Chains A and B, each alone.
Chain A
Amino acid sequence: MPETAMRGNGSKHFRYFVAAKPNGSTGDGTPEHPSRSIREAIEDIRVRHAGDSPSVQRLNGYDRIDICSVFKGPTTSDTKQRYEFFVDPLGASDLAIGSAQLPWPDLESALEGVAKMDAEGAIPLGPGEHLSLSVREVFSATPVDRRKRRHERIAQVVLGLVTLTLVVPLVAILGHLVYKAWPVLTPSFLFENPRNQMTAGGVWAPLIGTFYLVFISLLVASPIGVLAGVYLNEYARDNWFTRVVNLAVVNLAGVPSIVHALFGVGAFVMFANMGESVLAASCTLAIMTLPVIITSTREALASVPMNFREACWNMGASRWQTIRTIVLPNSINGILTGVILQVSRAAGETAPILFTGAALYMTIPTKGLRSFFPYSLQDGCMALSYHLHVMMTQVKGASPEAIEAGKSLPLEHLQYGTAIVLIGLVLTVNSFSIGLRMYLRSRKKW
């Protein structure tokens, strides 16, 4: 068994040892048991590395075989190179002599060539010397390259799977919700009030309540949010105070929703004496969703090139005139995406309205104009998200007889129906925002 070593670039290096002073028995090519002659070593190499048998250890690019002449015994295996021959599949030539310019095309012919030279006595090897046979494959990947490429493929597949594990639940959840809610997904489910202790009917009252909350919170949040975004991008200097403002925005976004609820209770319900009302709930939602609008407004404004402003200033316009006539019109769509995002956030939130204005159960008109404006701002209202919470935690399912008689629906159907209406609403609104953003990017002129 010859010595095998991995070299720095990942290629293999085989060393076959030949006794400098052969005495009797032949060996297997190790330093302890060297072969008797170069011819025998070549036979070993041919058996191990050439031919077609499956156990053959093929040589790849940059691999090398040395035939080292040593004294028998545990001598050091460091030898000096005396002859160097090359194998290069791309450099095949009829005149191949194994030199760097005229390499042999494959290992078989190389071994033949070396054996011939050995027979002619052209390559005498002294003790401590070796001849080397290198496989050259200059333009193909080295083993290190191949390993790198393999690692890269593995990384890509693993990371891709990781990403897929995020998409799969999304699809599974949406699919499951739609599948389960299918029996109740009729127009009447949308346009009817909950009935029979919420064991029948639809989601009209909560749906309208959610519209109320979203609309009023939008009215409160969007002017403040947009102007705050304008301030941060157009007026604020790069100083510590602006850093504090930025930090406040980040923190406002990071405050847990239930703390917003406590704030709503303390500030709006009690301090401002609004009571548990649509107004208090909307204000709480507005403050909670404010950072969404601020951040996206700032981004939209920041994407307007500075030259636009400079050109306007050069015409003699003041700061506000520039903002009003140049900056805002050029970023209004971007601001809009943020506002839409705020709508989707506000529609889905539950915790902030739990104690500030969400009502457990109300009946509202379902016919005529009144059905669209049923709630008073001073009273509570139902909301889809809270309704879903109530359906899960407080409503008992109807008796089988009632379901049989057609008076009630199975609780599960109602729950899934409510969930799908809520998530449908939120995702639809969100898709608008995404669609608008993609449309904007495709039309971007600068």
Chain B
Amino acid sequence: MATITGNLNERPARARRGYSSLHRLGELAIESLIRLCGWSAILFVFGIFFFVFREGAPMLFGGLDLVKFFTSTDWNPVSKTPSYGILGLLAGTASVTVLSMALAVPLGLGAAVFVSEFCSPKIKEALKIAIEMLAAIPSIVWGFIAYMMLNPLIIWVTGAPVGLNVLNASIILALMSVPVIVSVGEDALKAVPDSYREAALALGASRWEIVYRVLFPAAKNGLLAAVLLGIGRAIGETMAVLMATGNANQIPTSPLDRVQTLTATIAAELGEAVQGDDHYRVLFVIGILLFVIAFVVNLSADLIVRGIRGKQNA
């Protein structure tokens, strides 16, 4: 009569015959490699911060007046007495982001609701492909579109002397961030249990009532995360806004004003900056700032989404 000895949870592979220690070693090696790759994402995020910080730190901790950095609009890095004030650039980024979100959020959430709740499976498939295509257009091509198509269009419609301005960049950014909002928003709506919809239907609600009385409250965190990710996309976009904003460092007073954003400044000036000098390092300080903004936006989006997951599990 055989008795079971040892721990049942022990991996059976160890007891098998013909399974040499070489195999085991190989397996150990590949598992360590997998773990290492899994952890690499953390490594890379830290690496990005570290290397950007390393280049920017000498300026950040010596020579840069942080108060002036954030409150002055005087960005003049190449003069004899250089001044580094990014308020104008911040205002540029903020104005473009806000206006683009004002366009993209209704469009994106509306499209997410339509795709998720209102259309037939075939149309849904087609729309998702179209939105994926929209997401796939490279940012430099968006910049090209802003420059060659939207620019004359805006001049023609508004009569402004130049069509490269906040409005132009906002439209382009809205079209660029809408796919993010649609796909994340649709996921959020899909995550609402069908029993909610069924309960509402049983009470006689129409589909639209289900959407705004049941789905919106139930999925509001996910939808908020979608908007946040859209904002992240808009703030971080570089090449398209470099082409579309007209690049004039000023605080805009109307959508037809030209502006310059943080990202575009780096892209436009890093090539000319002498490696290691103050101008070069200040651009890296802006990079640190962008990294931190992106980190905060993504972190809050993640926390919000995880918040709902946690509640649903409980």
* A contact residues vs B (CB 8 Å cutoff): 148-149, 151-152, 155-156, 158-160, 162-163, 165-167, 169-170, 173, 176, 223-225, 227-228, 230-232, 234-236, 243-263, 265-267, 270-271, 287, 290-291, 294, 316-321, 344, 347-351, 354-355, 385-386, 388-389, 392, 412, 415-416, 419, 422-423, 426-427, 430, 434, 438
* A224 shortest CB reach to chain B, Å: 5
* Contact across chains for A166 and B47 when beta carbons are under 8 A apart: no
* Contact across chains for B302 and A250 when beta carbons are under 8 A apart: yes
Q: Does chain A have a CB within 8 A of B137?
A: yes
5 pairs, A vs B, C-beta closer than 8 Å: A257-B238, A263-B51, A385-B140, A385-B239, A392-B147
CA distance A302 to B35 in the complex (A): 18
* B89 shortest CB reach to chain A, Å: 13
**Which chain B residues numbered 123 to 156 have a C-beta less than 8 Å away from chain A?**
125, 127, 129-134, 136-141, 143-145, 147-149
Q: Given that A163-B111, A267-B47, A318-B11 are contacting pairs, would A155 and B211 also be in contact in the complex, using a CB cutoff of 8 Å?
A: yes
* Contact across chains for A152 and B114 when beta carbons are under 8 A apart: no
Q: Which of A159, A170, A247, A415 has the most CB of B within 10 A?
A: A159
**Which chain B residues numbered 87 to 138 have a C-beta less than 8 Å away from chain A?**
106-107, 110-111, 113-115, 118-119, 125, 127, 129-134, 136-138
Which residues on B sit within 8 Å (CB–CB) of A256? 235-238, 263, 290-291, 294
The residue that A247 contacts in the complex, of B13, B52, B114, B302, with Cβ under 8 A, is B302
Size of interface on B: residues with Cβ below 8 Å to A:
89
By Cβ-Cβ distance, the 8 closest A-B pairs, closest first, are A348-B138, A231-B38, A256-B236, A266-B51, A227-B37, A162-B110, A159-B114, A155-B208
The residue that B141 contacts in the complex, of A163, A252, A259, A422, with Cβ under 8 A, is A422
CA distance A442 to B118 in the complex (A): 23
* Contact across chains for A426 and B137 when beta carbons are under 8 A apart: yes
Which residues on B sit within 8 Å (CB–CB) of A259? 48, 52, 236, 287, 290-291, 294
The residue that A263 contacts in the complex, of B30, B52, B243, with Cβ under 8 A, is B52
* Contact across chains for A163 and B35 when beta carbons are under 8 A apart: no
Q: Does chain A have a CB within 8 A of B42?
A: yes
Q: Given that A251-B298, A419-B144 are contacting pairs, would A262 and B52 also be in contact in the complex, using a CB cutoff of 8 Å?
A: yes
* Contact across chains for A163 and B115 when beta carbons are under 8 A apart: yes
The closest CB in chain B to the CB of A391 belongs to: B144
The closest CB in chain B to the CB of A167 belongs to: B130
Q: Given that A252-B44, A392-B243 are contacting pairs, would A169 and B175 also be in contact in the complex, using a CB cutoff of 8 Å?
A: yes
Q: Does chain A have a CB within 8 A of B270?
A: yes
Q: Which of B33, B145, B208, B235 has the most CB of A within 10 A?
A: B208
Q: Does chain A have a CB within 8 A of B6?
A: no
* Contact across chains for A389 and B239 when beta carbons are under 8 A apart: yes
Which residues on B sit within 8 Å (CB–CB) of A388? 140-141, 144
Which residues on A sit within 8 Å (CB–CB) of B125? 438
* Contact across chains for B266 and A262 when beta carbons are under 8 A apart: yes
Which residues on A sit within 8 Å (CB–CB) of B63? none
Which residues on B sit within 8 Å (CB–CB) of A392? 143-144, 147, 243
CA distance A344 to B141 in the complex (A): 13
Which residues on B sit within 8 Å (CB–CB) of A149? 206
CA distance A302 to B169 in the complex (A): 39
* Contact across chains for B138 and A173 when beta carbons are under 8 A apart: no
